[in-house]
Structure 1
Amino acid sequence: MSGKYIVVFKEGTPQSEIDQAAKDVEAQGGKIGHRYDTTMKGFSATVPDNLITTFKAHEKVDYIEADGEVSAYAKSIGIGK
């Protein structure tokens, strides 16, 4: 099985290490989605489940979280009426 994840690297991680991690994902059957390089360094990917354990042990990975849709919902509370 595989899942969609966001892999975020620690501040100061060289781009070359992030690029190599992305290549490793693809070499093991994963697919890179979006790359993040402004507010955080990393990428989204569809990753085989067994590869997540490898990334969690990577010393330069800050955190990994499940990727999914996010939506905002605002409820009118009637202010000003």
Structure 2
Amino acid sequence: MSQKFIVTFKDSVSKEDLKKYKDQVKDAGGKIYQEYDGVLTGFAAEIPPQTLESFKSLQGDVIEGIEPDGEVRIQ
């Protein structure tokens, strides 16, 4: 079952590579919910487990971070 994550990339990632990673999510049956191209480069997506594992192996190389997406509440 796919879960929602925010994937952020290092500043050095090219637009072509970013598109390739988004296509991997979609080709595996996932869905991109939001794209970030400002202070952060990346996307929020529903990512299938196999694709998520592939992305985790790139963490520290081209991927800056992978965090679960969800609501944040403050008191």
In the superposition, the TM-score normalised over structure 2's length comes to: 0.88
Larger Rg: 1
Mapping for residues 20-39 of structure 1, pairs under 5 Å: 20-39=20-39
1:21-65 CA distances to partner (integer Å, 9 max, x unpaired)?
A: 001110011000100011110000001122111001123111100
Question: Distance between the aligned counterparts of 1:16 and 1:70, measured in 2?
Answer: 32
Mapping for residues 14-25 of structure 1, pairs under 5 Å: 14-25=14-25
Unpaired runs of 5+ in structure 1?
Answer: 74-81
Correspondence for 1:42: 42
* SS at structure 1 position matched to 2:72: coil
CA RMSD of aligned residues (A): 1.1
Question: Distance between the aligned counterparts of 1:31 and 1:44, measured in 2?
Answer: 9
Q: CA deviation at 1:9?
A: 0.5
Unpaired runs of 5+ in structure 2?
Answer: none
Question: Distance between the aligned counterparts of 1:19 and 1:51, measured in 2?
Answer: 15
